[in-house]
Structure 1
Amino acid sequence: MSASNRRVLLKSRPQGEPTPANFDLVEAPIPEPKEGEYLSRTIWLSLDPYMRGRMSEARGYASNVELGDPMVGGTVGQVVKSRNPGFKEGDFVVEQSGWQSYAVSTGAGVTKLDPNAAPLSAALSVLGMPGMTAWWGLMQIGKPKAGETVVVSAASGAVGSVVGQLARLHGCRAVGIAGGKAKCDYVVKELGFDACVDYRAAGKDLFRELRAAAPKGIDVYFENVGGAVQAAVLPQLNDFARVPLCGLVSQYNEMQMSPGPDWRLLLVRRVTVQGFIVSDHFGEMEGFRKEVPPAVKAGRIKYREDIVQGLENAPEAFIGLLKGRNFGKLLVQVSDDPTRK
Structure 2
Amino acid sequence: MKVILEKEGSSIYRNVFIHIPLLCLGIVLSFALSSCTQQNSSSSSASNDKPKVVATSTIIADLTQEIGGDEIKLTGILKPGTDPHVYEPVPKDTQVMEEANLILYNGYNLEPGLIKLMKSAGGKARQLPVGEVVKPLQLNEGAKGKVPDPHVWGDVKNAIAMVNAIRDALIKLSPQDKEEFTKKAQQLTDELKQLDSWVKVQIQTIPADKRKLVTTHDAFQYYGRAYQIPIAGTLIGISTEEQPSAQTVQRLVEEIKKIGVPAIFAETTINPALIQTVAEEAKIKLAPRELYSDSIGAPGGEGDTYIKMIEANTRTIVEALGGKYTPFQRSTNQ
With structure 2 as the length reference, what TM-score do the two structures score? 0.34
Structure number with higher strand proportion? 1
Q: With a CA cutoff of 8 Å and minimum separation of 6, indicate the structure with the bigger relative contact order.
A: 1
Q: TM-score, normalised by structure 1?
A: 0.33
